[in-house]
Amino acid sequence: MEKIILESKFTLYQKILLIGASLLFFGIGYKIWNELFLDKYGDPVEISSIWAIVSFVVALILISLLFLKDGLLIGNKRIYKAYFAGGKPIFKQLVDLEDITDISIFKIRTKENIEFFRPGPATGEFEHYYYRIFLLNDKHTYKELLVESEDEDIINYIADLLQAEIDLKLNDYNPRF
């Protein structure tokens, strides 16, 4: 199976929020552990230890989300959407290819207005493009997003691989009702 790891599931702003939330939960767990887990004489208190452990676990889960990447597994006439951590698929979902005959690449222009996290003019507006591959039926009345990326070369590579491995045709999107 061909493994294609794309990019992180989160934007820079979402990563900053995840780091902040994980630090918050880690700090809460540490404070509970230090102040409530041990009373004056060092005897453990049962209820506070549960809250400390839960806070540490939530912090670890939030930190582990930072390393998730989106991707595809393609082979044997099947497509799987997958999440990767450390280059290994940790979760995969089979894409239903029943009645799917075509694929189409969309180029979408977006503008963001985040002044502190993106380069751009003085107004803070930053323009960039996303490329999306959609799975289409014969008449293009059904459309399902397969993958999205900012890298046009990766999208073209995936489209070529889908044409070769799964025999899908690359067409322009043109619904015929």
Q: What is the mean pLDDT of each successive set of 10 residues along the chain, which is 177 residues long?
A: 82 84 81 63 59 79 84 89 88 91 89 58 67 90 89 91 89 76
Rounded-to-integer distance, Cα 114 and Cα 104, Å: 30
Rounded-to-integer distance, Cα 66 and Cα 80, Å: 21
Q: Residue 58 CA to chain centroid, in angstroms? A: 19
pLDDT of residue 8: 80
pLDDT of residue 48: 60
Q: Residue 95 carries which DSSP code? A: P
pLDDT of residue 59: 83
pLDDT of residue 67: 84
Flag whether the pTM goes above 0.75: no
